[in-house]
Structure 1
Amino acid sequence: MEHLHRTKQGENKGHNYLGKETKNEIIHLIGSSITNNILLMMKSAKYYSIILDCTQDISKVDQMTVVVRFVQETRLDGVYDVRTWEHFLEFLPVPYSLYSTLMQVVLKFLEDKKILLCNMKGQGHDNGENMKGKKFNLQKLISDINKRSFYVPHRSHSLNPSLLNMLFPCFRQ
């Protein structure tokens, strides 16, 4: 409180640590700390699943949402506690929504965060053609590298086409 009072009175010369740069740096440091803690928990669990979804932001840039899911087991006084964790990690800008570009973005993310692709046991994506299409898609590229990474479709994305088919039968494929 004293620091704020002196800053308002003009007594603090130079840096008062109330500028937007300082605030943004503090926000960035807190976010990095939270992300690092999530990654430590995930790596201690070893196996994980990844959930990816793409959508455009207001500036028309595709953003890939990265969510990880893992199971952590702890033992305290002979009692086992098993918890499933699901955490948002990051928005990744995607220059082109081609399956090959999506794969490059995912591989770079995993490499930057030092996450092993061989420990990925599940993957979930939206219903876009580039994510889980019939021939060439992100799901297949990941499965080609890691045969044990099973694909599970997003339930929330499956609901929308079902409703459209039910309400507007003329749009059925």
Structure 2
Amino acid sequence: MSDIVLKELKKEVKEAGFFVIIADDTKDTSKKEQVVIAIRYCLHGGIHEEFIGVEEAGGLDALGLKRTILNQLGKFGVSLDNCVGPGYDGASVVSGHLSGLQALIRDINPRAYYVHCFAHRLNLVLVDASKSVSVLSKVIRVYRSRYNFITSNVVHKKWVEHQTQQELTIMEFGRLSDTRWSCSARQINMIGLRLPTLINVLKDVASIDMNAQRRTDAKGFLSQLDAAFIRNIHLLATVPSVCKFASDMLQSKTNDLGRAMGLIKSNARCKNQK
């Protein structure tokens, strides 16, 4: 079935004439680095973005990534000569203009101008900006410092039980990412929605839990959820949602460069109005 799908995709890409590759690396469950590759092209007035394969990285340096991408394109049956704009993240190993992946690809095809993923750029700006906003950085700092406690077996069980008793949709605490603002946006929004439940869980643990250390940790967490913290959570709830919408839209398969630029500008105006 996969061979049939890839065969049809290959026909469309060749009919389109030119294409863009989008590549990123990630670790699988066995901690091996995998390179995920998608191909983007315009056909009959429509933009198409399709996954073509995932392959174990031949190395995490620029040469290793180049070999992996060329090998995957070779399997797919298209030539890099028709690639006009590879998209990667902003890591120096891919963005370096002298010896990075983009430079090695342009040695083969000078028209393959590197594009730093707009969604990734937005996320990096927001993550850095959040560190300079004391209100937001304090909320994130509290969340990080209490993450292990709230996700421990005993406390997490109570967290789920309290939501179930209130007939609420179960929301979970997730680990924050240093490069993905959407993770922070999602968790800040979740705390705002489930703040009364969180307070009740902490009060429960602080008063009746048999473990002295958990009781102490719960009391410490409760002390951090003061009036200022609660006010800040509600004030911040709107900003992450606006930014997350922009981040999600920038990852749309049908987006193009003009729309991406317009979205960034409108997002900036919206934040200034806030």
TM over 0.5: yes
Q: 1:165 aligns with which of 100, 106, 128?
A: 128
**Does structure 1 residue 112 correspond to structure 2 residue 75?**
yes
Code of the residue aligned with 1:65 in structure 2: it is V
Q: Deviations over 1:55-106 (max 9, x none)?
A: 1111111111111111112xxxxxxxx1111111111110421110001111
1:150, CA displacement in angstroms?
1.4
Query: Secondary structure of the equivalent of 2:30?
Result: coil
- The letter of the residue matching 2:111 is R
User: Is the counterpart of residue 126 in structure 1 residue 97 in structure 2?
Assistant: no
Q: TM-score, normalised by structure 1?
A: 0.71
- 2:6 matches 1:47: no
What is the CA distance between 1:158 and its match in structure 2?
Answer: 1.1
Selected match of 2:66 from 97, 103, 113:
103
Q: Which residue of 2 aligns with 1:8?
A: none
Residue 58 of structure 1 aligns with an amino acid whose one-letter code is: T
Task: Give CA-to-partner distance per residue, 1:81-134, whole Å, 9 cap, x none.
Answer: x11111111111104211100011111222222211111111100122211135
Report the aligned-residue RMSD.
Answer: 1.6
Among candidates 64, 87, 100, match of residue 50 of structure 2: 87
Q: Is the 8 A contact 1:61 1:95 kept in 2?
A: no
Equivalent residue for 1:4? none
What is the DSSP-based 3-state SS (H/G/I as helix, E as strand, rest coil) of the residue aligned with 2:99? coil
**Aligned equivalents of 2:49 and 2:126: distance in 1?**
27
2:118 maps to amino acid: R
Structure 2 unmatched ranges of 5 or more: 133-274
State the one-letter code of the partner of 1:131: V
Matched, 1:32 2:3: yes
Q: Distance in 1 between matches of 2:91 and 2:6?
A: 28
1:70 corresponds to which letter in structure 2?
A: Y
Tell me which residue corresponds to 1:65. 36
Bigger CA radius of gyration: 2
Q: Is the 8 A contact 1:72 1:83 kept in 2?
A: yes
Contact 1:41 1:72 in 2 (8 A): yes
Aligned residues of 1:124 and 1:152 also touching (Cα < 8 A): yes
The question of whether the paired residues in 1 share the 8 Å contact of 2:19 and 2:84 is answered with yes
Q: TM-score, normalised by structure 2?
A: 0.46
**Structure 1 match to 2:176:** none
1:121 touches 1:150 (CA, 8 Å); kept in 2? Answer: yes
Aligned equivalents of 1:63, 1:124: Cα separation in 2: 17
| Deviation beyond 6 Å, 4+ runs, structure 1 | none
Distance 1:164 1:134 in 2: 25
User: Is residue 95–residue 102 contact of structure 2 (8 Å, CA) maintained in 1?
Assistant: yes
Q: Any idea what SS the aligned residue of 2:84 has?
A: strand
The Cα of 1:43 is off from its aligned counterpart by: 0.9
- Whole-angstrom CA distance in 2 between matches of 1:120 and 1:152: 12
Q: 2:107 corresponds to which letter in structure 1?
A: D
CA positional deviation for 1:46: 1.3
For 2:75 and 2:49, the matched residues in 1 are separated by 20
Q: What CA distance in whole angstroms lies between the structure 2 residues aligned with 1:61 and 1:47?
A: 32
The percent identity for this pair of structures is: 27
Task: Go from structure 1 to structure 2 and tell me whether the alpha carbon gap of 1:168 and 1:134 turns closer, same or farther (over 3 Å shift).
Answer: farther
How many correspondences in the alignment? Answer: 133
Q: Which amino acid aligns with 2:43?
A: Q
What are structure 1's unaligned runs of at least 5 residues? 1-29, 74-81
Q: Which has the higher helix share?
A: 2
